[in-house]
Chain A
Amino acid sequence: MDFFSQISPFLLSGLLLGSIYGLSATGLSLIFGVLKVANIAHGAFIMLGAYVAYFALTMWGVVPFVSAILALALGGALGYLVYVAVVKPLGLKNELNILVALFALFLLMAEAARILWGPDFVGYTWTIGSFSLGGLIIEYTKLAGALLALAIVISLEVFLRKTYAGRAIRAVVQDSVGAQVVGINVDRVYALAAAVGIGITTLAGVFITLFIPVGINPYMGGPYTLMGFVIAVLGGLGSIMGAYLAGLVFGLITSVGYFAFSELGFAEPSQMALFIAFLMLLLILLFKPTGLLRI
């Protein structure tokens, strides 16, 4: 088997999953860009999205592409609440207090999920068929999920560039005092950014289940928070397209890196691939701290 045939399934697999990784980090990136708040509770909203997908399908037969809309709305409402009830009362200047409060929210959501839905690992089975490409069998649901993730990120970018609300958000990112001077309601912009950011994160939780429809549990969020930060920093905190691109890079590194290190005879190829991803993060922080796409 030639080299390209060997590597192509790993490339494709990495790209597909990377698209979802990218989507899942955009909410985190947006919130940091606008509010300068590190959303430590990120993984808990991914978990919530995964449960929305699970319950919608198993209880009402609603497929994930439809339940994603519900997750977006639910996440959006919760995002607004998080801003109004947690971030705003603590004051945006108190980053440390907000960080601790969001960490508490993360724990609270996980424990609430355990009490409400139990500690078991649940999952669903839903397939609409598959096709073979480059040595990889690809489920249509995964392909659709990856393409939709790209479409959502592009839409978000268009929203930020072409609409009044989007331009207001960008104005606040650039200079919140200046934005206030020209009549932008900064408080409303913060609330909007929190709602959109957490809405997208919860929606990403639904999309993640297209790739990992099993093992859904109250404590699944932790690794997604860590991964989300790695991707968001790699792409440049605050840059939507940067986060998406970094997600693709992360997906490719973990998949192709595994192949490469495995072929080279390393004992722990997946850990080595992760090492490369973190090394890349270190290099970005050292030489281009604004991330891949931010100037």
Chain B
Amino acid sequence: MPISGRYAAEGQYSLWGALAVVNWINDRGGLDCGGKKVRVRLVYRDSESKLELAQSLTESLVTRDKVHFLLSPYGSDLAIGVSPIAEKYGVLMVVVGAASDRIFQQGFKYVVGVAAVASQYMWSVLDMAKAVDPNVKTVGILYRDSEFNRMVAEGAKTHAEKLGLRVVVYEPYPATPKDLTPQILKVKAANPDVLIVASHFADGQLAIRQMAEQKVDAKLIALSVAPLVPEFYDALKNLAECVVGPSHWEPPVRYTPELARQKGVEWFGPTAEEFAQYFKRVSRELGGKEIEPGYHAAWAAKGVLAILYGVYKAADVDSAKVLSELGKARFMTFFSEFKLDPATNVNVAHSMVAIQWQNGERVVIWPSEVATAKLRYPSLTWDEKSAGKVCK
């Protein structure tokens, strides 16, 4: 897991999420494996956000540490790079914090995804826009020129066209942009109803800052990744108001043992409250302060839970047997349901939610069954936001 380098923040939260689940299991005596309680050990190395290092550490985890299973490193570029190693040794690797479709298009048997793939990221946002405003006609898409973001943009474009929307701008920008004014001026000229930016953290903040400067208003502005962390609002203050983003998981989204019972599927692992409690403890011990878990942490936790569920069912640590059990599995965790698509090895029972920044809070606005607030539509204009108006 990259806990230093460019993915340090996301890698760190993912590691803490995985550790929280491992601690939860071990505090209960360990995992039930064929009637015997077995303690779980998480062996981790810092891949420093470097592909070459991630590859050699993965190899070493398998050959020297003799780990039974692998969690992928955060980042699609790193996860793609280590997938062939898992496949070579026949060790089950659950992909967490990486969503590029290409990871699952290689035909690897031992590489499994527990969340939606990148091309599906903006589906919920576009579905919501169309449902809220049937008159919405045009979409503009800017995307960071990277593996993951390219997939997000391609998926958004295809889905928008499927919904009958016209994509009027479809522009890439460099992976580490210094200035997005040229791209934003192009969006301004096209004036789309919905503006999607397939961004990461820094460029997402920059896009909002420069859209505000150039007063590029749209009825709905959605960004990937960037709006899902509190630093987005801290950095942008009022400019972050009304910004929408797709998320794999948010604390208010409640998958509960009760819901699992109602749906007739098995419940596995901690509840969302228990997970939050364990995550806070890990963050206090390793990071020095208690923080709430976000979706990176929950995603990694789900990865660990998927492996443990497979081991529990197979009563064995053999990857092939665990994989076979996961192929048949239908269970629910605090993160989502789980049902593997045999063609792609991706969890197809997981759907993304959409959030919006409203009055300084990140609220869930879609799908309506789990929404904690209504979408503010159309979005406030930049002039309104600059005047101090908040999205309510």
Among B176, B183, B201, B386, the residue within 8 A (CB) of A258 is B183
The digit string for A193-237, where 1 denotes a CB below 8 A from any CB of B, is 000000000000000000111110111101100010000000000
Distance between A226 CB and nearest chain B CB, rounded to angstroms: 10
Interface residues of B in 35-94 (CB under 8 A from A): none
CA distance A271 to B146 in the complex (A): 12
Which of A83-91, A92-100, A113-121, A147-155 contacts its partner? A113-121
Instruction: Let me know if B203 is at the binding interface, CB within 8 A.
Output: yes
Residues of B within 8 A of A254 (CB): 178-179, 182
Q: Min CB distance, B239 to chain A, in Å?
A: 7
Q: Which of B173, B183, B214, B239 has the most CB of A within 10 A?
A: B214
Q: Closest A residue to B234 by CB, please name it.
A: A122
CB-based nearest A residue for B12: A119
**Set of chain B residues within 8 Å of A2, measured between Cβ atoms:** none
A51 CB → nearest B CB, Å? 13
B9 and A136 contacting across the interface, CB-CB below 8 Å: no
Residues of A within 8 Å of B201, CB to CB, are 121, 215, 217
Q: What is the minimal beta-carbon distance from B193 to any residue of chain A, in angstroms?
A: 21
Question: Taking the complex as formed, is A17 at the interface, i.e. its CB lies under 8 A from any CB of chain B?
Answer: yes
Query: Are B205 and A215 within 8 A (Cβ)?
Result: yes
B206 on interface, CB distance cutoff 8 Å: yes
Q: Which residues from B are CB-within-8-Å of A13?
A: 179, 181-182, 185
A219-B6 contact given A10-B182, A13-B179, A268-B145, CB 8 Å threshold? yes
Q: Is the CB of A274 within 8 A of B205?
A: no
Interface of B is mostly: helix
Closest partner residue, chain B, to A213 (CB atom): B209
User: What's the tally of chain B residues with a CB closer than 8 Å to chain A?
Assistant: 39
Residue of A nearest to B179 (CB): A17
> Is there contact, CB below 8 Å, between B231 and A122?
yes
* Cβ-defined contact, A121 with B236, below 8 A: no
Q: A223-B176, A254-B179 are in contact. Are A121 and B185 (CB under 8 A)?
A: no
Q: Is the CB of B171 within 8 A of A262?
A: yes
Report the minimum CB–CB distance from A295 to chain B (whole Å). 31
Known contacts A120-B9, A223-B176, A262-B171; A136 and B206 CB within 8 A of each other: no
Contact between chains at B185 and A270 (CB < 8 Å) = no
Residue B371 CB within 8 A of the other chain:
no
In the assembled complex, the Cα of A269 lies from the Cα of B386 at a distance in Å of 31
For residues 274 through 324 of chain B, which have their beta carbon under 8 Å from a beta carbon of chain A?
none
A214 touches B209 (CB 8 A): yes
Q: Is the beta-carbon distance between A270 and B215 smaller than 8 angstroms?
A: no
B342 in the interface, Cβ–Cβ < 8 Å? no
Check if A9 is an interface residue, CB within 8 A of chain B: yes
User: Contact at A137–B202, with CB atoms within 8 Å?
Assistant: no
* Residue interface mask A36-63, B partner, CB < 8 A = 1: 0000000000000000000000000000
Which of B8, B182, B229 has most A Cβ within 10 Å? B182
Report the minimal beta-carbon distance from B65 to chain A, rounded to whole angstroms.
Answer: 25
The distance in angstroms between the C-alpha atoms of A294 and B21, with both chains bound, is 62
Known: A123-B236, A125-B237. A212 touches B9 (CB 8 A): no
Per-residue A-contact encoding for B11-34, CB less than 8 Å = 1, 0 else: 010000000000000000000000
CB–CB B236/A125 < 8 A: yes
Write out the residue numbers on chain A whose beta carbons fall within 8 Å of the beta carbon of B9: 118-121, 217
Cα A17 to Cα B203 in complex, Å, equals 16
Q: Taking the complex as formed, is B264 at the interface, i.e. its CB lies under 8 A from any CB of chain A? A: no
Report B214-270 residues with CB < 8 Å from chain A CB: 214-215, 229, 231, 234-239
Q: How far in angstroms is the closest Cβ of chain B from A221?
A: 11
Contact partners of A130 in chain B: CB under 8 A = 213
In contact, B185 and A10 (Cβ under 8 angstroms)? yes
Q: Which residue of A lies closest to B181 (CB)?
A: A13
Which residues of A are found within 8 Å of B202, using beta-carbon distances? 121, 214-215, 217, 220
Distance A124 CA – B379 CA, assembled complex (angstroms): 22
Residues facing B in A237-295 (CB within 8 A) are 254-255, 258-259, 262, 267-271, 274
Most buried by A among B6, B9, B179: B179
Inter-chain contact A121/B213, CB cutoff 8 Å: no
Nearest-CB residue, chain B, relative to A215: B202
Q: Which residue on chain B has the smallest CB distance to residue A251?
A: B179
Q: Taking beta carbons and an 8 Å cutoff, which residues of B are in contact with A?
A: 4-6, 8-9, 12, 145, 171-174, 176-179, 181-183, 185-186, 201-203, 205-206, 208-209, 213-215, 229, 231, 234-239, 386
In the A-B complex, the 5 residue pairs with the closest CB atoms = A215-B202, A123-B235, A214-B205, A119-B8, A119-B9
Q: List 6 A-B contacts (CB under 8 A).
A: A13-B181, A111-B4, A122-B234, A255-B181, A262-B186, A270-B182
